């Protein structure tokens, strides 16, 4: 096929992908946590590739080993590769539109003269296309007049791009985790007994469900579920709530203090006086990171870091969400952590993303039993 016919085929695919006619789209495929980056090797090994690795695939220090937020996989563009790329869930086409590479020619096909002029004036060159060819897919076109200009655009919008890919990954995980083999009866019991529920996968078991007087002298409820994946691997989450919340709970330092109090009380090791606590001895190499997020329409503080078992050598990553639910007048802390020394960093990243997905299924009695899917962006 000549280059002209090849580009014409690209144009037809783009028009079809951008059609407003509602049509059935099969689900996208691909390895969880992986993003295909379609570009040439020169661009990949230059400032554009560096910018993508530093933003979308940035190293997360809240894991025991160096772990990228996403695994970026280089793919070249050809007639052979296009069909497979169209089926992938996460794809970035990146090249300066002034290049003569296949990727640059592909991007130019979708740019009219007005678009080129806008880019030449410094306009936005990062274009996102959800569900372009498949359902549950995010395709990104990234271009600019030069490598350096494109790298700067990626750095400017890298956090938002990473958040978009993370939201897609979480939505795909939620569908995969809870479409089948879900313990609906346990979720219904949580709604009946406690007024809230989260998604419970088929192999989680309840470890603790207890009421106690918390550190502030009021009643608190601690509920813990565990999933064992072998003798030395597990996933674990707990939900804590109290009926008499104080706004001082919604501060990063207060969340860390509360988590340590709860794990010291309820999550102990096999050795005497050993318990799980947040690793805070190396704030540079093992930081504890806090941010604000929207958790199903609720303002929440997200905390990420690593945990350790005092008096032992066990440790792993965790993620927690602290929020106040206005309808019920409760403060909640949802926390997920994993232990998997025999797994790769990328596998542990996806296990922790499962903990994140569980937290995002949180709903109260008014919202019902069904897992609430995140709205499309």
Which of these ranges, 116-130, 214-228, 361-375, has the smallest mean pLDDT? 361-375
pLDDT at 3: 42
pLDDT at 117: 65
**374 domain residue, yes or no:** no
Count structural domains, the chain: 2
pLDDT at 183: 93
Residues 72 and 134 in one domain: yes
**372 domain residue, yes or no:** no
**375 domain residue, yes or no:** no
Chain segment 320-346, per-residue pLDDT in tens: 999 999 888 999 999 999 999 999 999
pLDDT at 110: 76
Residues 276 and 306 in one domain: yes
User: Does 245 have pLDDT greater than 90?
Assistant: no
Which residue did the predictor score with more confidence, 14 or 233?
233
Q: Domain with 151 in it: what CATH number?
A: 3.40.980
**104 domain residue, yes or no:** yes
pLDDT at 80: 72
pLDDT at 309: 95
Mean pLDDT of 134-140: 96
Which of these ranges, 119-133, 148-162, 206-220, has the smallest mean pLDDT? 119-133
Residues 171 and 215 in one domain: no
pLDDT at 24: 86
Residues 298 and 173 in one domain: no
What is the full DSSP assignment across 267-311?
-B-SSTT-BEEE--S-TTTS--EEEEEEETTEEEEEEEEEEEETT
Residues 164 and 227 in one domain: no
Kindly state the tokens that stand for 170: 């979480």
Residues 80 and 188 in one domain: no
Residues 173 and 197 in one domain: no
**132 domain residue, yes or no:** yes
Radius of gyration for the alpha carbons in the chain, expressed in angstroms and rounded:
23
Residues 350 and 239 in one domain: yes
**323 domain residue, yes or no:** yes
**373 domain residue, yes or no:** no
Mean pLDDT of 25-54: 97
Domain containing 104: what range?
Answer: 3-178
Residues 141 and 245 in one domain: no
Mean pLDDT of 33-62: 97
User: Does 241 have pLDDT greater than 70?
Assistant: yes
**Which of the listed residues 146, 178, 210 is the one where a domain comes to its end?**
178
Measured from the Cβ of residue 91, the count of other Cβ atoms closer than 10 Å reads 24
**376 domain residue, yes or no:** no
Per DSSP, the three-state class of 82 is helix
Provide the whole-model pTM: 0.88
pLDDT at 8: 40
Average pLDDT, the chain: 89
Residues 256 and 302 in one domain: yes
Residues 166 and 201 in one domain: no
Q: Residue 99 and residue 111: Cα distance in Å, rounded? A: 14
pLDDT at 116: 66
pLDDT at 13: 42
**Which of the listed residues 178, 198, 233 is the one where a domain comes to its end?**
178
Predicted confidence band at 155 (pLDDT cuts at 50, 70, 90)? very high
What's the distance, CA 283 to chain centroid?
23
Residue 143's region, left for phi above 0, alpha for psi from -120 to 50, else beta, is beta
User: Does 372 have pLDDT greater than 60?
Assistant: no
Side-chain half-sphere exposure of 228, counting CA atoms within 13 A: 6
Residue identified by tokens 């106040």 is: 324
Kindly state the tokens that stand for 371: 């897992």
Chain segment 262-297, per-residue pLDDT in tens: 999 999 988 888 999 999 999 999 999 999 999 999
Q: How far is CA 259 from CA 64, 133, 237, 254, in A?
A: 19, 43, 12, 9
Residues 240 and 112 in one domain: no
Mean pLDDT of 231-255: 89
Q: Domain with 349 in it: what CATH number?
A: 3.40.1000.10
Predicted confidence band at 11 (pLDDT cuts at 50, 70, 90)? very low
pLDDT at 366: 84
**Which of the listed residues 132, 161, 178 is the one where a domain comes to its end?**
178
* CB-CB contact of 53 with 72 (8 Å): yes
């Amino acid at each position: 096929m000549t280059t002209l016919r090849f580009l014409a085929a690209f144009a037809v695919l783009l028009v079809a992908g951008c059609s407003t006619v509602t049509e059935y789209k099969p689900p996208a495929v691909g390895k969880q946590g992986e993003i295909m980056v379609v570009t040439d090797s020169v661009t990949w090994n230059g400032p554009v590739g560096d910018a993508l690795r530093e933003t979308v695939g940035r190293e997360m220090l809240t894991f025991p080993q160096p772990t990228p937020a996403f695994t970026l996989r280089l793919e070249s563009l050809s007639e052979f590769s296009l069909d497979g790329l169209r089926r992938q869930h996460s794809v970035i086409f990146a090249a300066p539109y002034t290049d003569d590479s296949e990727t640059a020619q592909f991007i130019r096909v979708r740019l009219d003269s007005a678009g080129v002029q806008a880019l030449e004036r410094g306009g936005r060159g990062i274009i996102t296309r959800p569900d372009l060819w498949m359902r549950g897919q995010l395709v990104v076109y990234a271009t600019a007049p030069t490598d350096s200009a494109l790298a700067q655009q990626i750095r400017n919008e890298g956090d938002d791009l990473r958040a978009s890919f993370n939201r897609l990954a979480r939505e795909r995980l939620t569908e995969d985790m809870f479409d089948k083999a879900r313990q609906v009866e346990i979720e219904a019991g949580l709604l009946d007994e406690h007024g809230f529920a989260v998604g419970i996968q088929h192999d989680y078991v309840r470890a603790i469900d207890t009421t106690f007087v918390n550190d502030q002298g009021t009643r608190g409820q601690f509920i813990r579920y565990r999933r064992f994946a072998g003798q030395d691997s597990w996933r674990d989450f707990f939900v804590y709530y109290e009926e008499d919340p104080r706004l001082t709970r919604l501060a990063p330092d207060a969340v860390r203090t509360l988590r340590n109090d709860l794990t010291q009380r309820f999550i102990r090791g096999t050795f005497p006086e050993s318990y799980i606590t947040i690793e805070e001895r190396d704030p540079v190499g093992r930081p504890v990171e806090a941010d604000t997020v929207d958790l199903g329409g609720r303002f929440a503080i997200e905390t990420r870091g690593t945990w350790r078992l005092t008096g032992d050598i066990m440790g792993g990553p965790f993620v927690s969400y602290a929020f106040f639910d206005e309808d019920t007048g409760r403060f909640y802390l949802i926390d997920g952590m994993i232990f998997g020394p025999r797994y790769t960093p990328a596998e542990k990243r996806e296990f922790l993303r499962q903990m994140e997905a569980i937290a995002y299924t949180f709903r109260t009695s008014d919202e019902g039993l069904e897992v609430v899917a995140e709205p499309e962006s």
